[in-house]
């Protein structure tokens, strides 16, 4: 189990682009840490090392994804001219967040109370948030009459 998590973490770390300076600054502000601490927490050594460091790395990456998701949400919200459409978007986002938490809680249930629970739950939240970023970006980039 630990080997599969280590291999998955290595694959994810290689596939991810480094965080931009803006994103590092936003995550640092959000977590009350310095930018240097944020950059250090997402190094390959920490993301693929001991469980505690890996948990910290995954949590920082989740916070970064949530910041990116909120930026895409704001971008989409600005495109919506009608208040009723913005209200529908807000309702949808609240429902999606509840769905994400419930899904990840369910998917992580076999690790509840164990050392890997936080990482499993954070990983689930991260992957679902990355998908939501893509969805919100697609909505915001839509140019057709049916957008």
For 20, the domain range is: 2-141
Residue with tokens 């992957």: 127
pLDDT tens, residue by residue, 105-128: 999 999 888 888 888 899 999 999
Alpha carbons 89 and 35: distance in angstroms, whole number:
32
Q: Is residue 146 part of a domain?
A: no
- CB-based burial of residue 12 (10 Å sphere; 0-12 exposed, 13-18 middle, 19+ buried)? middle
Closest C-alpha to 125, from 69, 47, 46, 53: 69
Which SS3 state, helix, strand or coil, does residue 59 take? helix
Q: Is residue 35 part of a domain?
A: yes
For residue 52, give the CATH number of its domain.
1.20.1270.180
The whole-model pTM stands at 0.80
Closest C-alpha to 73, from 2, 135, 9, 6: 135
CA-to-CA separations, 109 to 102, 116, 127, in angstroms, rounded? 11, 11, 17
pLDDT at 14 over 70: no
pLDDT tens, residue by residue, 74-94: 999 999 999 999 999 999 999
């Amino acid at each position: 189990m630990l080997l599969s998590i280590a291999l998955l973490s290595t694959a994810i770390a290689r596939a991810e682009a480094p965080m931009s300076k803006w994103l590092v600054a936003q995550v640092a502000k959000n977590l009350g840490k310095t930018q240097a601490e944020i950059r250090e927490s997402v190094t390959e050594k920490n993301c693929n090392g001991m469980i505690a460091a890996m948990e910290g790395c995954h949590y920082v990456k989740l916070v970064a994804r949530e910041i990116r998701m909120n930026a895409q949400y704001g971008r989409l919200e600005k495109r919506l001219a009608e208040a009723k459409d913005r209200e529908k978007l807000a309702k949808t986002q609240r429902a999606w967040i509840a769905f994400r938490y419930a899904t990840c809680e369910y998917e992580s249930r076999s690790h509840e109370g164990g050392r890997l629970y936080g990482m499993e739950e954070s990983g689930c939240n991260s992957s679902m948030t990355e998908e939501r970023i893509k969805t919100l970006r697609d909505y915001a980039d839509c140019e057709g009459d049916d957008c």
